[in-house]
Amino acid sequence: MSAIPSFLPSTSSVIAILGANVDANSSYLTGTAAAPDVIRAAFHSDSANGFSESGVDLMHNPLITDMGNLVPSSASMSSLSAAAQTIIAHDKRLLTLGGDHSITYPLVKGVRRALCARGETRLNILHLDAHSDLYEYDILNQNNRYSHASPFARILEEGLCSRLVQVGVRTHTQHTRAQAAAYAVETHDMRSISSSSWPPKLSFDGPVYVTVDLDVLDPAFAPGVSHFEPGGLSTRDVLSLVQTFAGDVIASDVVELNPSRDVGSYGMSISGEAPSGVTAMVAAKITKELLARMLESAEAATSSSTST
């Protein structure tokens, strides 16, 4: 699918899934544009099931609609912003499968516009990543301010979030440290994280956008990414954080799976299915837990509005 369908999710659904086939803004390797359908295949793989760890059936759930893929036609990816704005404006929640991390800036912009239109000025971001993605300038010298090294610089420059919390960073430069300090970014970098203090006790006031770059994981757990950065989180670390932080998850994304670098997708299942790679299965697992959190948030919001 090369374009977003012209319809919105059904009135009964509360979450829209959207694929973003983007890798033109990558700084090292391409290949992430193929990831959305690879994650979907892993999500539906016969080797697992469609339930979250909390017992939510995500495979056959009328509250979730998959809207297919969107291939943005410009560097600024305005079509992604428009899609996100439309979905949130119709009181849905959005989970996007990337794609490289450049997609987060236009998605956040669209979510922010929709929230502001209904009088909500708060938008928190929980960002899991090996990299801060705070570069002010184009690190490739290609006159591209929208590369995957810069989405949070653009977000902060435009005041699109009220709070940015970054977890798992282990590649700061002097420039990105200065950027983080200038914009009061809350950082839980790998040097400050210990097993005794994990997961960090995070609580957010107002809507939360969760963005998971798979290279936040140590390469031992997620080899199918473009940038190997040793010393990262485990899969259980990421799942524990997703499951335990306090906040109303309005939107999320899972980015930077590079299927061409993944391992384990060999052989054939007894049903004739080509097995998914290790990192694709990790991405699908994280996607399931994010969907469960978003359904939980939607239920809590409905209960709150009903009681008032």
Q: How much is the pLDDT for 77?
A: 85
> Are the CB atoms for 169 and 127 separated by under 8 Å?
no
What's the mean pLDDT in 185-208? 93
Question: What are the binding residues for Mn(2+)?
Answer: 101, 129, 131, 133, 213, 215
Does residue 26 sit within a domain? yes
Instruction: Compute the distance between CA of residue 19 and CA of residue 32 in angstroms, rounded to an integer.
Output: 11
Q: How far apart are CA 95 and CA 244, in angstroms?
A: 18
- Report the greatest alpha carbon distance in the chain: 55
As given in the structure block, the two tokens for residue 255 are: 């980015």
In the numeric block, the tokens 């079509």 are attached to 79
Query: By residue range, what is the domain housing residue 272?
Result: 15-307
Reduced 3-state DSSP string for 181-210: HHCCCEEECHHHCCHHHCCCCCEEEEEEEE
Residues 6+ apart with CB under 8 A from 67: 4, 5, 9, 16, 17, 18
Exposed, middle or buried: residue 153 (CB in 10 Å: 0-12, 13-18, 19+)? buried
Radius of gyration of the CA atoms of the chain, in A: 18
Lowest pLDDT segment from 8-12, 14-18, 159-163, 177-181: 8-12
Handedness of CA 79, 148, 281, 241 (dihedral sign): negative
Domain assignment present for 77: yes
Summarize the confidence of residues 235-256 as an average pLDDT. 98
- Give the sign of the dihedral formed by CA 28, CA 223, CA 215, CA 41: positive
Q: Could you tell me if residue 69 is inside a domain?
A: yes
- Structural domains counted in the chain: 1
140 found inside a domain: yes
Q: Is residue 1 part of a domain?
A: no
Residue 2 resides in a domain: no
pLDDT category at 7 given cuts 50, 70, 90 is very low
Residue 127 confidence class, pLDDT cut points 50, 70, 90: very high
Q: Which two tokens stand for residue 178?
A: 């200065």
Cis status of the peptide bond prior to 99, with omega within 30 of 0: yes
pTM of the predicted structure, to 2 decimals: 0.94
- Where does the pLDDT of residue 120 fall: very low under 50, low under 70, confident under 90, or very high at 90 and above? very high
Residue 201 lies in a domain: yes
pLDDT at 195: 77
Closest CA to 36 of 68, 8, 63, 79: 68
- The domain spanning residue 142 has which CATH number? 3.40.800.10
Q: Is 10 domain-assigned?
A: no
Are 176 and 140 in contact, with CB atoms under 8 Å apart? no
List % helix, strand, coil for the chain (3-state, nearest 5): 35, 20, 45
- Judged by average pLDDT, the poorest of 35-39, 84-88, 159-163, 190-194 is 190-194
Query: Pick from 251, 247, 246, 219: which is nearest to 232 by CA?
Result: 219
Q: Which residues are annotated as a binding site?
A: 101, 129, 131, 133, 213, 215
Give residue 139's pLDDT.
Answer: 72
